[in-house]
Amino acid sequence: MTAIDLSLRPNSKLPLLTSIYPLIDTHTHFDAPVFDEDRGLQARQAYEYGVRHLVLVGYLARHFDRLYTIQQAFAQPLQSTMINSTTSITDASVHTDLYPQTHIALGLHPFYIEQHTDTHLEQLAQLLDEQQPLAIGEIGLDAFTNIMKQPEMLAKQQRFFNAQLDMAVRHQLPVMLHIRKAHAEALALLKAHTYNAHKLGGIAHSFSGGEQEAKAFVKLGFKLGVTGQVTNPNAKKLRRAIQAAVEMYGIECLVIETDCPDMTPIMCQTSAGSQSALGQSIDNEWQGAAGHNRNVPGNLPWVLHTLGELLHVAPADLARQLWQNSCDALQVTWAYPEPSVTIE
Ligand SMILES: [Zn+2]
């Protein structure tokens, strides 16, 4: 039994976590500049809170290098005094075994469709040949804003979505879906494509649809990615959709994620206001999310605990199943570390 420094609690208003369970953060933007000042500290806190693996998810071709820079920084303990891509921090006490293992997904995010070019698709195809990332993502359709809803925008999104699904099939990789306000269109496109999530895995990340849509994605073989949004009691549609999918398919259909720096669990928020910088402006790549509500990988246990309450499943059982679900969705065989750390 290892005691944990309670000062590591990300927010002193949080109730105490009494037990720590091994977790996989299936979707993060932990490479975002908003973490440059304290990425090493945040990674170590995430480890203290049970996070053993985290996935860095791509969104713009020009930042693909950054994903690898961050991953390498965590993989090289002797050089880990530099854990960010632009500025260095000094922390002599860091060791690589105290960080979650980082993995990379590469993809061109539908929200940034105006910025993507065919050259970026070629770049992605080449990187897939050279690097063998864990997954392709995030990809999909986003009709959140009026601009995004325009037919030519949606058509370009569909073309890039299809092209990246083709790459997933070619490389036999799972995909991370970003679908917002376009669930029916995305489902139709997926049904018409040869990508088979039952075989290749895949996650409908930060799932935001209704009951029928939740069931439809699971039926296609995708896991539903649950974020800190579930901790909001007012997110009734989302909570019902999760319950409905679980009633039909069991808790095997879920994975959890922070989607940090977005989607901060409600108990970790210290100020009101928009949680998400994504959607505010296409130029704002989360730099603006630095305020008090920045989400961090160490907040993932709150998603676990809230989901356990919602589904009436003990957190220990849920954590173990979510680990397996994440491995299934990502087509990996990471051994489940027995939970051994308890806060006294
Ligand atoms: Zn994302």
Q: Domain for residue 5, yes or no?
A: no
Q: Of 201, 213, 210, 298, whose CA–CA distance to 258 is shortest?
A: 298
Q: How far is the CA of 5 from the centre of ligand 1 (A)?
A: 30
Q: How far is the CA of 302 from the centre of ligand 1 (A)?
A: 19
Q: Domain for residue 338, yes or no?
A: no
Q: Domain for residue 173, yes or no?
A: yes
Q: Of 59, 219, 71, 79, whose CA–CA distance to 140 is shortest?
A: 59
Q: Domain for residue 91, yes or no?
A: yes
Q: Domain for residue 312, yes or no?
A: yes
Q: Identify the pLDDT of residue 231.
A: 95
Based on the structure, what is the number of domains in the chain? 1
The CATH number assigned to the domain holding 308 equals: 3.20.20.140
Q: Identify the pLDDT of residue 325.
A: 98
Q: Identify the pLDDT of residue 79.
A: 44
pLDDT, one tens digit for every residue, the chain (344 residues)? 333 333 344 444 455 567 899 999 999 999 999 999 999 999 999 999 999 999 999 999 999 999 999 999 988 654 444 455 543 444 444 445 689 999 999 999 999 999 999 999 999 999 999 999 999 999 999 999 998 889 999 999 999 999 999 999 999 999 999 999 999 999 999 999 999 999 999 999 999 999 999 999 999 999 999 999 999 999 999 999 999 999 999 999 999 999 999 999 998 988 655 445 454 444 445 544 445 589 999 999 999 999 999 999 999 999 999 999 999 999 999 999 977 655 44
Q: How far is the CA of 27 from the centre of ligand 1 (A)?
A: 6
Which residues form the domain of 203? 17-330
Q: How far is the CA of 28 from the centre of ligand 1 (A)?
A: 6
Q: How far is the CA of 342 from the centre of ligand 1 (A)?
A: 30
Q: Identify the pLDDT of residue 270.
A: 80
- A 10 A CB-CB count for 232 gives 17
Q: What is the DSSP string of 196-228?
A: -HHHH--EETT----HHHHHHHHHTTPEEEE-G
Render the burial of 320-330: b for 16+ CB within 10 Å, e for the rest: bbbbebbbbbb
Q: How far is the CA of 277 from the centre of ligand 1 (A)?
A: 11
Q: Domain for residue 302, yes or no?
A: yes
Residue 88 tokens, joined = 């260095």
**Which helix or strand (DSSP H or E) is residue 8 part of?**
none
Q: How far is the CA of 147 from the centre of ligand 1 (A)?
A: 20
Q: CB of 327 within 8 A of CB of 334?
A: yes
Query: Count of residues for the chain?
Result: 344
Q: Domain for residue 342, yes or no?
A: no
Q: Domain for residue 336, yes or no?
A: no
